[in-house]
Structure 1
Amino acid sequence: MRCFFHLVNGAETIPDDTGIEVSNLESARACALDVINDLRQEAEYGPQDWKGWSLNIVCPEGSVLATIALGIALH
């Protein structure tokens, strides 16, 4: 299945026009968490820098499959 990862903050959206192919939603969530953690480490951004932002995992039809709040620490 193809999933897209859109960054959203209220009325603002940064769309992912490419997406990735994954085997299931849990794989998509794991990929998203890995990328978020990598970005935070490389750019030295912490949860406070992402306050109000979320990452929506979206199917090709546009339905939101999962949402990850970026303003909280990930485990």
Structure 2
Amino acid sequence: MHCYFHLVHAHERILDETGIEVSNLEAAHYQALKAIQELREETEAGEIDWRDWHLEVVDEAGNILLSIPLATAQH
């Protein structure tokens, strides 16, 4: 299945227009956690306040498969 990983806040959305192909929902969850970890590594500690941000994993139809709060996600 093809999934997209959108960063979502109450008043802002950063859309993933490329997405990736994954074998199942478990693989999508793993990729989402990996993306969150990479995002944290790219930003300085305290540089961005991730509270109230979520990483939404959506399918090609736009259905939300997963929503992971960035403030609490662990890899």
TM-score (norm 2): 0.86
| 2:4/2:20 contact within 8 Å kept | yes
Residues 45, 21 of structure 1: CA spacing in aligned structure 2 closer, same or farther, 3 A cutoff? farther
* Mapping of residues 36-75 of structure 1, within 5 Å: 36-45=36-45, 49-75=49-75
Aligned residues: 74
TM-score (norm 1): 0.86
Structure number with the higher helix fraction is 1
Letter paired with 2:7: L
| 2:4/2:17 contact within 8 Å kept | yes
What runs of 5+ residues in structure 1 fail to find an aligned partner? none
| 2:7/2:54 contact within 8 Å kept | yes
What runs of 5+ residues in structure 2 fail to find an aligned partner? none
| 2:36/2:73 contact within 8 Å kept | no
Give the deviation of 1:31 after TM superposition.
0.8
Letter paired with 1:32: A
Query: How well do the aligned residues superpose, as a CA RMSD in angstroms?
Result: 1.7
1:39-68 C-alpha deviation (Å, 9 max, x unpaired): 21232346x720110000000001100100
